[in-house]
Amino acid sequence: MLGVVPCRTNRTRVEGGPLGAALRLVPRGGLALRRELVPRRGVVAILGRQPSVSGVENGSSQLDRLAEEIVACRACPRLVAWREGVAATRRASFRDQEYWGRPVAGFGDSRATIAVVGLAPAAHGANRTGRIFTGDRSGDWLFASMHRVGLANQASSTGLDDGLRLSGAWICSAVRCAPPDNKPTPQERDRCLPFLSRELDALDSVKVVVALGQFAYEVLARLLAIRPRPRFGHGVEATSPDGTVVICSYHPSQQNTFTGRLTEPMLDSVFTRAIGL
Ligand code: SF4
């Protein structure tokens, strides 16, 4: 079911997506009309059993509603089967925990000037805890860095009740369901893109987006209509037609941090640069 709502922004917008409409990138300018995707009948009842689907600081009903819609999405059969299968079988070390097993919405400060975008929830990280980059090694690195530069109140991120608060920053992912081998298909990527588009629209103070890894960068470059698109590399910057700056970072995956490809000073420097812009 599709509705139509007005939105005022200069960013490229994405129409259609998770609930069946065709994906279309539409350049924006001034007052535009946007399709508002409405959850299918029945999913609201599922939401009623959830303790929380949104970790929004400074209140935003728009982001709260979007979080509810994201968490209810079942548009990608392969990813739904994977995320729920992982949640049912669990890793031995988390056998006593109930996995989230659903899509993961963004969280942070609704007045953020910096958005941080990763690839997708980790199978035993955010797919377990329900908060992006929470409960895995990548998150340990990410939040430690954000704490060092003053964007997070603590360095650790272990679960929804761990007290983590972000100030001036928002974190989300390009794809909202954990994919097998961390590899969404192009169709799954495109189906999920409207959620990121709408999230960035709702975060109207964001001036800088930190892309964690090449996948996130390529999604953002499309979404923000960056042309020409500089080649991905750590510290590379690109500016969209509406003035949003994208800064690339190597992803804080274990593969990158164990090998020294990404060091703590390298990640800190990206956030320090983002704060300074
Ligand atoms: S990846 Fe995105 S579009 Fe696909 S089921 Fe998950 S939330 Fe829905």
Question: Pairing state of beta strands 245-249 and 114-118?
Answer: unpaired
Question: For residues 206 and 168, what is the distance between their CA atoms, to the nearest angstrom?
Answer: 9
Question: For residues 213 and 232, what is the distance between their CA atoms, to the nearest angstrom?
Answer: 8
Nearest CA to ligand 1 atom 4: 76
Ligand 1 center–CA 70 separation, angstroms: 7
Ligand 1 center–CA 148 separation, angstroms: 32
Q: In whole numbers, what is the pLDDT of the chain averaged over residues?
A: 83
Ligand 1 center–CA 174 separation, angstroms: 10
CA distances from 173 to 8, 28, 41, 196, 227 (A): 23, 23, 26, 8, 22
Contact (Cβ atoms closer than 8 angstroms) between residue 159 and residue 104: no
pLDDT at 152: 97
pTM: 0.82
Query: Strands (DSSP E) along the chain, which ranges?
Result: 2-8, 13-15, 24-26, 31-37, 55-57, 107-109, 114-118, 169-173, 208-212, 237-239, 245-249
Ligand 1 atom closest to Cα of residue 184:
1
Which residues, 6+ apart, have CB-to-CB distance to 269 below 8 Å? 235
What's the pLDDT tens digit per position in 192-202? 999 999 999 99
What count of other Cβ atoms lies within 10 Å of the Cβ of residue 26?
13
Nearest CA to ligand 1 atom 2: 192
Question: For residues 201 and 28, what is the distance between their CA atoms, to the nearest angstrom?
Answer: 11
Ligand 1 atom closest to Cα of residue 191:
3
Ligand 1 center–CA 120 separation, angstroms: 10
What are residue 247's DSSP bridge partners?
210, 237
What are residue 109's DSSP bridge partners?
57
Ligand 1 center–CA 272 separation, angstroms: 32
pLDDT at 59: 61
CA distances from 138 to 32, 55, 88, 127, 161 (A): 38, 19, 23, 14, 19
2-276 is classed CATH 3.40.50.720: no
* Crossing angle between the packed helical segments 264-276 and 137-149, to the nearest 10 degrees: 50
Ligand 1 pocket by Cβ (under 6 Å): 18, 70, 73-76, 79-80, 103, 175-177, 188, 191-192
What count of other Cβ atoms lies within 10 Å of the Cβ of residue 260?
8
What's the pLDDT tens digit per position in 41-91? 222 222 322 334 455 655 678 999 999 999 999 999 999 999 999 999 998
Ligand 1 atom closest to Cα of residue 120:
1
Question: For residues 173 and 121, what is the distance between their CA atoms, to the nearest angstrom?
Answer: 7
Positions in the chain short of pLDDT 50: 1-53
Ligand 1 center–CA 183 separation, angstroms: 13
Mutate to test the pocket of ligand 1, among 19, 69, 73 (most ligand atoms within 8 A of CB): 73
Token code pair at residue 33: 């009309």
Nearest CA to ligand 1 atom 6: 177
